Amino acid sequence: MSAQLLDGKALAKIIQSDLKSRFAALAESSGVAPILAVVRVGDDTSAAGYARAIERTCTGVGVTFAAHALAGDATQAAVEAAIAKLNSDPTIHGVMILDPLPGQIDGQRLIDQLNPAKDVDGVHPLNAGRLSAQKAPYFVPATPAGAIRLLEEAGVEFKGKQAVIIGRSDIVGKPMALLLLHRHCTVTIAHSRTVDLPGVARRADILCVAIGRPEMVRGDWIKPGAVVVDFGTTYTDDGLKGDCAQAEVAEVAGMLTPVPGGTGPVTNAMLMSNLLGAYRLGIGN
């Protein structure tokens, strides 16, 4: 068996083309330009690279990117003041806080301070709670939202399927579990301390891996014909690697999101989709 590889790049282009038209129409009718504010503290190279990627995506869909960079020695009060200003600015429709943050900054306090209506990352507790309860409006973290969109476009059936998520982070594992549960999967959340993790993985019709360990999941962890979603992005001496040993997994799985080119490209597109929702809230549309 050779798995069908789900093309995130192609899907991202389709999503962004549609979003560009939607943003343009709303901007014309409202007279208000959509703006995303991105807060970065310090000069971490990965955060800076992510900011550039977001800026390119914004440009591609007709959104203004507003960078708010603070020095690495900024105080908690200074960062909170910057976020408070963005929260109250009616011209700003979405606010993101980039990780990693310097050691003196309490990231959770910043997240708690975010205006939930501008939280396009879907990290505020109110958005997380609304997602859990399926009480709109809420924003879903872009990475799991993109994975679901990929699976839907591929025609994956969810109802009654056994889904296993390896990883329990607030921005990928937990929301992915909820999104699958809402689509009537039977969901198991596993992690590095799960007893017989390979055996648990082998039960999955849909296996999602977001554990941050390159090529940890091997081919013999996979149920034949399973759908495998690899969220991993670890840079190694051999290049970018996912959490799955791709060649091995592809021999067993029915569908696989490749790394690179799978969930990654769709993430920023879904971020823009969240921003569209926040923009519509902001202009009262």
pLDDT at 1: 59
In DSSP notation, 124-135 reads SHHHHHHHHHT-
Gap between the Cα atoms of 163 and 208, Å rounded: 8
Name the nearest CA neighbour of 192 among 162, 170, 227, 165.
Answer: 165
pLDDT in tens, 23-81: 999 999 999 999 999 999 999 999 999 999 999 999 999 999 999 999 999 999 999 99
Q: Which CATH superfamily is domain 142-264 in?
A: NAD(P)-binding Rossmann-like Domain (3.40.50.720)
Gap between the Cα atoms of 218 and 225, Å rounded: 15
Contact 98, 90 (CB under 8 A): no
Coil/strand/helix, residue 35 = strand
pLDDT at 253: 98
pLDDT at 285: 86
pTM of the predicted protein model: 0.95
The residue behind tokens 């020695």 is 73
Coil/strand/helix, residue 119 = strand
Cis peptide before 260 (omega within 30 of 0): yes
Token duo for residue 88: 């109250």
Domain at 30-116: CATH architecture: 3-Layer(aba) Sandwich (3.40)
Gap between the Cα atoms of 56 and 44, Å rounded: 19
pLDDT at 68: 97
Residues of the chain with CATH 3.40.50.10860: 30-116
What stretches in the chain show pLDDT beneath 70? 1
Residues of the chain with CATH 3.40.50.720: 142-264
